[in-house]
């Protein structure tokens, strides 16, 4: 009887899904490491998560590999950011063979726009505002519940608890910046990844590159930025883990600003690094920004 039931379910379910159920886990693919961590935090041991873009990788210009397409085809859940970040998913037809539950994590976010070269562009880096992180977690928890109804309640509970942790960290970050006079709250980064973070905590941001890393900054835009750093007495230039460090080094040496260290914008660090999780990333970035703003 048991065998017959198993055979019947084999006939009705794709093989990959059956194998996953047998192991007690579902397979999820996230486009980059920050989303993969959110899925891992909410899914705990019910989910095996793969990130397409690796730690310290650049989610703007990624080229999916054949192994990525196989992972997507076998997954029950696919989580992407949206807001135009992963243009390569569409260009590569990466999700053509995916038949599971698809989550656009930023779906409920109010997008920021910026004018770049006279054109209005949507800023995809919504996760840098922890209040958006909460919206991401809610979308992911709902997606997990849909992909794996057996554990729906666990995903909802864990999601609620984890969202509360994110909100608590948001309050902590706001408290770190509160004593710093607004004129000192200025940051230079290599690409414009901290717009949501800056809007949340009242920080003015300048960057060498735009919202994406697809175009290298021109000599003219670098010269303009150096002049601005000097004029506005910006103290520190930050390296980003996933962009070319030469840009930040050049900005610092030409403007006289100090290098404030490496912050994590679009990718987590490897597991043994200082930003191995979403919460660790927010804490690490905040600590470095505050240190540079308050250095005497
Ligand atoms: Zn970016």
Residue after which a domain boundary falls, among 114, 148, 172: 172
How far is the centre of ligand 1, averaged over its atoms, from the C-alpha of 3 (Å)?
51
Strand partners, 237: 188, 259
Residues 117 and 263 in one domain: no
How far is the centre of ligand 1, averaged over its atoms, from the C-alpha of 155 (Å)?
29
Residues 161 and 275 in one domain: no
SS3 232: coil
Residues 233 and 268 in one domain: yes
How far is the centre of ligand 1, averaged over its atoms, from the C-alpha of 128 (Å)?
10
pTM: 0.89
Domain span at residue 133? 2-172
Residues 17 and 137 in one domain: yes
Residues 113 and 250 in one domain: no
Residues 229 and 263 in one domain: yes
How far is the centre of ligand 1, averaged over its atoms, from the C-alpha of 11 (Å)?
44
How far is the centre of ligand 1, averaged over its atoms, from the C-alpha of 99 (Å)?
28
Residue after which a domain boundary falls, among 172, 202, 220: 172
| pLDDT tens per residue, range 227-257 | 888 888 888 899 888 888 888 888 889 998 8
Q: How many domains, in total, are found in the chain? A: 2
CA distance 242 to 170: 24
How far is the centre of ligand 1, averaged over its atoms, from the C-alpha of 63 (Å)?
15
Per-residue pLDDT in tens (0 to 9) along the chain, 296 residues: 344 444 444 444 454 444 445 457 999 999 999 999 999 999 999 999 999 999 999 999 999 999 999 999 999 999 999 999 999 998 878 788 899 999 999 999 999 998 877 889 999 999 999 999 999 999 999 999 999 999 999 999 999 999 999 999 999 999 999 999 998 998 888 888 999 999 999 999 888 778 788 777 888 888 888 888 888 888 889 988 888 888 888 888 999 888 999 999 999 999 999 999 999 999 999 999 999 999 87
Report the CATH number that the domain containing residue 30 is assigned in CATH.
Answer: 3.40.50.1980
81-85 long-range contacts (CB < 8 A, ≥24 apart) are 81/31, 81/32, 81/35, 81/105, 81/106, 81/124, 81/126, 81/127, 82/106, 82/107, 82/124, 83/109, 83/111, 83/122, 83/123, 83/124, 83/126, 84/122, 84/124, 85/31, 85/59, 85/60, 85/124, 85/125
């Amino acid at each position: 009887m048991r065998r017959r039931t198993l055979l019947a379910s084999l006939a009705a379910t794709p093989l990959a899904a059956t194998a996953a159920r047998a192991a007690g886990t579902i397979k999820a693919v996230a486009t980059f490491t920050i989303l993969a961590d959110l899925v891992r935090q909410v899914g705990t041991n019910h989910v095996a998560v793969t990130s397409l873009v690796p730690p310290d990788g650049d989610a703007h210009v990624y080229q999916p590999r054949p192994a990525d397409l196989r992972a997507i085809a076998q997954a029950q859940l696919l989580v992407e950011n949206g807001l135009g970040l992963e243009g390569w998913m569409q260009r590569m037809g990466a999700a053509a063979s995916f038949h599971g539950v698809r989550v656009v994590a930023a779906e409920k976010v109010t997008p920021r726009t910026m004018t770049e070269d006279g054109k209005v562009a949507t800023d995809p880096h919504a996760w840098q505002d922890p209040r958006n992180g909460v919206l991401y977690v809610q979308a992911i928890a709902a997606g997990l519940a849909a992909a794996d109804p057996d554990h729906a309640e666990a995903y909802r509970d864990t999601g609620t608890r984890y969202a509360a942790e994110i909100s608590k960290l948001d309050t902590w970050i706001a408290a770190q910046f509160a004593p710093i006079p607004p004129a000192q709250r200025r940051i230079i980064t290599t690409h414009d990844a901290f717009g949501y973070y800056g809007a949340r905590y009242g920080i003015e941001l300048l960057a060498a590159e735009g919202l994406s890393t697809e175009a290298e900054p021109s000599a003219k835009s670098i010269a303009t930025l150096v002049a601005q750093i000097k004029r506005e007495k910006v103290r520190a230039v930050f390296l980003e883990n996933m962009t070319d460090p030469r840009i930040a080094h050049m900005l610092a040496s030409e403007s006289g600003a100090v290098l404030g260290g490496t912050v994590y914008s679009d990718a987590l660090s490897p597991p043994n690094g200082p930003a191995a999780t979403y919460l660790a990333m927010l804490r690490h970035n905040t600590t470095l920004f505050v240190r540079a703003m308050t250095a005497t």
